[in-house]
């Protein structure tokens, strides 16, 4: 069994001391590691007056930089709000920074005002989530694939590993591929099968 801590560094009612809260949270992550915890995690919500975390990948990067052993990750990354390829790349980057300790926990989203903020119909949250989680998984582990997903990259772009520890979208090297990735990461986002 493993034990982790969920940090919710908000500062009610109006985020007047949110910088101090974040300094305390980063210190607490270091203390959690020393105390033997296995992971430190953050949530996500948007436009909250108390400074509730709107950028969990940024927070995970900071947590990764301040710790050496514990997993860092999201308890609920609100995946339907984002381009899944950007999510795959950003999570892979935190995984690189942390030496393979990133854990991406995703959720559907629930607050109507957040869907409105992103110009999305809350009725599509399940289909958007299913589509996005599939694309994140494919970006990290799949062989060549094609998609008609609404969140897919533009035609003429392909997924490829730029180095052993990074993934990204690059111009398609051959004419006519129209969004069919040519070389995708296999396994974890930090363990690619090709190197350049």
pLDDT confidence of 144, banded at 50, 70, 90?
Answer: low
Q: Is residue 101 part of a domain?
A: yes
Q: Is residue 52 part of a domain?
A: yes
60-70 pLDDT tens trace? 999 999 999 99
Mean pLDDT is lowest, of 58-72, 153-167, 179-193, for 179-193
pLDDT confidence of 143, banded at 50, 70, 90?
Answer: low
pLDDT of amino acid 99 = 96
98-139 pLDDT tens trace? 999 999 999 999 999 999 999 999 999 999 999 999 999 988
Paired with 165 in beta bridges are: none
Q: Is residue 173 part of a domain?
A: no
Residue 175 pLDDT more than 60? no
Q: Kindly state the tokens that stand for 71.
A: 């997993």
Q: Is residue 164 part of a domain?
A: no
30-44 pLDDT tens trace? 999 999 999 999 999
Report the domain count for the chain: 1
Give the residue numbers spanning the domain of 26.
4-144
Q: Is residue 184 part of a domain?
A: no
Q: Is residue 49 part of a domain?
A: yes
CATH code, domain carrying 132: 3.20.20.30
pLDDT of amino acid 145 = 54
pLDDT of amino acid 139 = 87
In this prediction the pTM is 0.77
Q: Kindly state the tokens that stand for 5.
A: 């801590």
pLDDT confidence of 15, banded at 50, 70, 90?
Answer: very high
Average the pLDDT over 177-193 and give the result.
Answer: 32
Q: Is residue 174 part of a domain?
A: no
- Give the chain's mean pLDDT: 80
Residue 22 pLDDT more than 50? yes
pLDDT of amino acid 171 = 32
Q: Is residue 192 part of a domain?
A: no
Q: How many percent of the chain have pLDDT more than 70?
A: 72
Residue 149 pLDDT more than 70? no
Which residue pairs from 167-172 have beta carbons closer than 8 angstroms and sit at least 24 positions apart in sequence?
167/88, 167/89, 167/92, 167/139, 167/140, 167/192, 168/89, 169/85, 169/89
Q: How far is CA 7 from CA 39, 81, 180, in A?
A: 11, 22, 39
76-87 pLDDT tens trace? 999 999 999 999
């Amino acid at each position: 069994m493993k034990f982790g801590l969920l940090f919710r560094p908000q500062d009610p009612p109006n985020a007047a001391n949110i910088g101090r809260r974040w300094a305390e949270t980063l210190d607490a992550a270091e203390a959690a590691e020393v105390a033997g915890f296995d992971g430190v995690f953050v949530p996500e919500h948007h436009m909250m007056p108390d400074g509730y975390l709107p950028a969990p990948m940024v927070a995970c990067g900071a947590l990764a930089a301040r710790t050496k052993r514990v997993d860092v990750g999201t308890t609920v990354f609100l995946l339907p709000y984002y381009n899944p390829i950007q999510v795959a790349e950003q999570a892979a980057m935190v995984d690189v920074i942390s030496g393979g300790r990133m854990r991406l926990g995703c959720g559907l989203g629930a607050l109507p005002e957040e869907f409105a903020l992103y110009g999305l119909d809350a009725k599509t949250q399940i289909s958007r989530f299913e589509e996005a989680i599939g694309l994140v998984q494919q970006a990290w582990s799949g062989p060549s694939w094609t998609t008609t997903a609404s969140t897919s990259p533009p035609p003429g772009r392909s997924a490829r590993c730029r180095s052993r520890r990074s993934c990204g979208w690059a111009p398609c090297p051959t004419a006519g591929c129209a969004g069919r990735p040519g070389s995708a990461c296999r396994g974890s986002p930090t363990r690619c099968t090709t190197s350049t």
